[in-house]
A and B are shown apart, each in its own frame.
Chain A
Amino acid sequence: MTSTQAVDDIVRSEYEHGFVTEIESDTLPPGLDEGVVRAISARKGEPEFMTEWRLKAYRHWLTMPTPHWASVHYPPIDFQSISYFSAPKRPEDMPKSLDEIDPALLETYEKLGIPIEEQKALAGIAVDAVFDSVSVATTFRSALADAGVIFCSISEAVHEHPELIQKYLGSVVPHTDNFYAGLNAAVFSDGTFVYVPEGVRCPMELSTYFRINARNTGQFERTLIVAEAGSYVSYLEGCTAPQRDENQLHAAVVELIAMDDAEIKYSTVQNWYPGDAEGRGGIYNFVTKRGDCRGARSKISWTQVETGSAITWKYPSCILRGDDSIGEFYSVAVTKGRQQADTGTKMIHLGRNTRSTIVSKGISAGEGQQTYRGLVRISQRAEGARNHTQCDSLLIGDRCTANTFPYIEVKHPSANLEHEATTSKISDDQLFYCRSRGLTEEDAVSMIVNGFCKEVFNELPMEFAVEAQKLLSISLEGAVG
C-alpha cells in the first residue's frame, strides 16, 4: 500500500522538535568510545558527577556481551555505526508541507482525528515555533509548580535538581542491569523527570504530549519518576499516532520510585513505525522499565498498549520491596505483518503481604510473532505474598504465533499464586454472526478485539482508552481475509 520510497523519505525526515537553538548544528561522527561519552556530556553542559556516571556505565558496558534472545530475530547491530549525538535537521531539510508526506500516513492521522498542526509535527514537517500545545503546556506547568510538582526534562533536572538526580538516577535500573540499560546510561540523550513531593496528589495527568517541543528524546531516552510518601501521579507516555524515527534502535530506560503509601500509574501507548510489509526499516524497541515500590503500602501500576515497532523487547517490572505494596501490569500487545514482540513483566516480591496482578492480552495477526514472558518471584521474606496472572492470546489468521512462558520462583510457603492462560481465535462463526447483523468484517474484528482487551483498556485514563481502541481498530484493518 505504501511505496518503500515514500516511507523511507518520511523515516529520514523525522521531526526534530526537541533540540531548539542552544545546541550547535554539529553531529558527532558514528562510533562510540570514551571521547564520545565525554563529548555528549560536555555538549549538554553536564556537571562532573554526571560525566563520571556516564563513563562508569560505558566502561562496564564494554564488558557486557550483546544479548541474544530465543524469540526475536534481527541482524546484528553494529554499535560503531551509530551516531550517538546528532544535531537537529535544519528546517530547510525538512518536508515543507503535508503534500510531501505519504498519504497512507496522513490517512491514519485523519482517522485518529489528529489536528492538522500536530499532523505536521508528527510527520516531520518544519512547523512554526509557536503552536497551541506550547501555551497549553505553559499553563499546565504553572499549575504543577503551584502544587510543588517538578516536571521537566532530565537535562534540566541535572542542572536544577542535581541532588535528586544523584540520589535517584540509576537506583532502580543500575547501569550493570543489562546491555541496553548500560548503553543507555552512557549515552542517553534526554528524557523526562517527575518529582512529586510528600502528600501531593498531582493535579493532572502528566504527559510527554505537553512537552511536545521538548520531546526529542532521541533513541536513548531516560525517564525518572519519584513519588514521595503519600503522593500520587499518573503519567502517560507516547502517543497513538504512528511515529517515525530515523533511528532504528531505541533503548530507553524508565525508573519509577514509590515511597510509603505513594502510587504511580504509568500508561504507555507505543506506536513506533513497524516497518514496511517485509518489516524493513522498522524500529527496534529494547526498553528497560522498572518500578520500585520502596515504601510500605506503595503501588505501581504499568498499563501498556503496544502496536508498533518491528521488534519489541520489554518487561515493565515491579520490585515489591515495601510491606503490603502492590504491583500491577496490564498489557495489550499487537503483532502483525512481520512484527516480533517479546514482552511481559517481572514481579519481584520482597516485602510481606505484597500483591501483584498481571493481565496480558496478546493479539497476533498476519505473520506476527509474539511471546509473553513473565516472572513471579516470591522471596524468603515475602510472607503472605499473592499473585494473580492472566495471559490471553488472540490469533487472527493461521500464520501468526503466540507463546507464553510464565516463570515462577517461590521461596516462601505461604505464597498464593494463581495463573490462567487462554488462546483463542476469531472464528468464522463469530465473523459471520456479526456480519449477519449488518456489521462489516472490519467492525466485527475490531469489536471482538476491543472486547478481548477490555480489562486492560479499563485501566487506561479515559481519553487514552478511547484513542487506544481506535488505534487497535486501525492497526488491524485488513488483518482478516
Chain B
Amino acid sequence: MMLSVKGLRANVGENEILKGLDLEVGPGEIHAIMGPNGSGKSTFSHVLSGREGYEVTAGSVTFEGQDLLALEPEERAHLGLFLAFQYPVELPGVNNTYFLKAALNSIRKSRGESELDAVSFLRLIKEKLKILHLNDSLLKRAVNAGFSGGEKKRNEIFQMALLEPKLAILDETDSGLDIDALRVVADGVNALRSPERSMIVVTHYQRLLDYIEPDRVHVLAKGRIIRSGGKELALELEEKGYGWILEQEQAA
C-alpha cells in the first residue's frame, strides 16, 4: 500500500471533524473523494500533510510503511507527499522561480541528490510549463500574488509537475475553474499519471471526473467514508445528489 489510513479521528478545537476515516490507496491509483460542503474533505487533506491546529485523537496513517503523523510537514513533502491547496496562499515578494527552485532542491537534498544548477532548473521548468500550457510570465511574478483564481490552481498543478510527488492530494482543484481551465488542469494531471504515482482527487462535483478517470470513488460525509465504489458511483451521485446515501447510511 502507498497510503493506509485506519480509524482516523481528528478534532479542531472542541469539534470532532474526522470520525473514524479509513482509506487505502495503492501505487498508481487515483482515488476520488467526494462529499458535501463541510464534510471534512479539506480537514482530511490538511491532517495528511501535517498542518498545525488539528488534534489527531485516534487512528493511524502510514505512507509507504512510515508513520506519517509523526513527521513535520516538510518531512512529509520530502517523502513525496504533495497537497494542491483548495486556497493557494500568496507570498508577496517571493519570486515564483526562486520558490520552486528552493522547494525542488530541498526535496532533492533530502534524498541525497545534488542541487540542480540554474541552467538545468530552467530547462526542467520550461518543459513542465509546456505540459500545462502555462505562460512563462508566471515565473517572474511573486508566488500566487495577484494571480487569478484559475492561475493559482494551475500554478498548484505546475508545482506538482515539477516536484513529482509519489502521492498528490488535489483539494478541490476544479472549483472556480471555467471549462477550459478545467481541461488544462485535467490534462496536466493525466500527463503525470504513472504506475508509481498515486493521487487523491478531492472534489465537490462529478465534472472533474469526466476528465480524470478515477480507479475508486469514495463518499466522505460527517467525517467518515460512507460509501466506496468504482467511477460509476460518481455518476450516480451526480444524478441523485448526496441525500440518498446519507439516508441509507442513517437507516443502516
User: Could you tell me which A residues sit within 8 Å of B by CB distance?
Assistant: 424, 427-430, 432-441, 443, 447-448, 450-454
Contact = CB atoms under 8 A, between A and B. Distances in A.
Q: What is the interface residue range for chain B against chain A?
A: 20 to 34
Given A428-B52, A432-B51, A432-B52, A438 B89 contact: no
Contacts of B92: 424, 451-452
**Of listed B52, B74, B99, residue having the most chain A CB within 10 A:** B74
A438 B91 contact: no
User: At the interface, is chain A mostly helix, strand, loop or mixed?
Assistant: helix
30 contacts: A424-B92, A428-B52, A430-B90, A432-B52, A432-B89, A433-B88, A434-B103, A435-B50, A435-B72, A435-B73, A435-B77, A436-B50, A436-B73, A436-B77, A437-B106, A438-B77, A438-B106, A438-B110, A438-B163, A439-B74, A439-B102, A439-B103, A447-B99, A450-B93, A451-B91, A451-B94, A451-B142, A452-B92, A453-B93, A454-B93
Contacts of A453: 93
Given A437-B159, A438-B106, A447 B91 contact: yes
Interface of B: 49-53, 72-74, 76-78, 82-83, 85, 88-95, 98-99, 102-104, 106-107, 110, 142, 159, 163
Q: Across chains A and B, which 5 residue pairs bring their CB atoms closest together, nearest first?
A: A451-B93, A438-B77, A451-B94, A433-B89, A435-B73
A454 B142 CA distance: 11
B173 to A, nearest CB: 15
Given A433-B89, A438-B78, 20 more contacts: A424-B92, A428-B53, A430-B90, A430-B91, A433-B91, A436-B77, A436-B82, A437-B103, A438-B103, A439-B102, A440-B74, A443-B106, A447-B94, A447-B99, A447-B102, A448-B94, A451-B91, A451-B94, A451-B142, A454-B93
B93 A448 contact: yes
Contacts of B107: 438
A429 B89 contact: yes
Contact of A433 (B72, B82, B85): B85
Nearest to B51: A432
A437 B163 contact: yes
A5 to B, nearest CB: 35
A435 B99 CA distance: 11
A432 B52 CA distance: 8
Contacts of B77: 435-438
Contacts, number: 78
A447 B82 CA distance: 20
Nearest to B162: A437
A432 B77 CA distance: 11
B17 to A, nearest CB: 17
A435 B85 contact: no
Contacts of B51: 432, 436
Contacts of B85: 433, 436
A434 B72 CA distance: 12
B102 A436 contact: no
B63 to A, nearest CB: 14
Contact of B106 (A430, A433, A440): A440
A440 B75 CA distance: 9
Contacts of A443: 102, 106
Contacts of A440: 74, 106
Nearest to B77: A438
B93 A436 contact: no
Given A447-B102, A451-B142, A436 B83 contact: yes
Nearest to B46: A432
A432 B74 CA distance: 9
A440 to B, nearest CB: 6
Nearest to A361: B93
Contacts of A452: 92-93
**Of listed A432, A436, A453, residue having the most chain B CB within 10 A:** A436
Contacts of A448: 91, 93-94
Nearest to A430: B89
Contacts of A454: 93
Contacts of B159: 437
Contacts of A433: 85, 88-89, 91
**Of listed A428, A438, A448, A454, residue having the most chain B CB within 10 A:** A438
Contacts of B98: 447
Contacts of A434: 91, 99, 103
A452 B72 CA distance: 26
A435 B52 CA distance: 11
A446 B89 CA distance: 17
Contacts of B91: 430, 433-434, 447-448, 451
A443 B94 CA distance: 12
Contacts of B74: 435-436, 438-441
A452 B91 CA distance: 9
Contacts of B78: 438
A187 B107 CA distance: 57
A443 B91 CA distance: 13
Contacts of A451: 91-95, 142
A432 B89 CA distance: 9
Nearest to A435: B73
Given A429-B89, A433-B88, A439 B106 contact: yes
**Of listed A427, A434, A448, residue having the most chain B CB within 10 A:** A434
B53 to A, nearest CB: 8
A435 B93 CA distance: 17
A452 B143 CA distance: 13
Contacts of B72: 435
A298 to B, nearest CB: 31
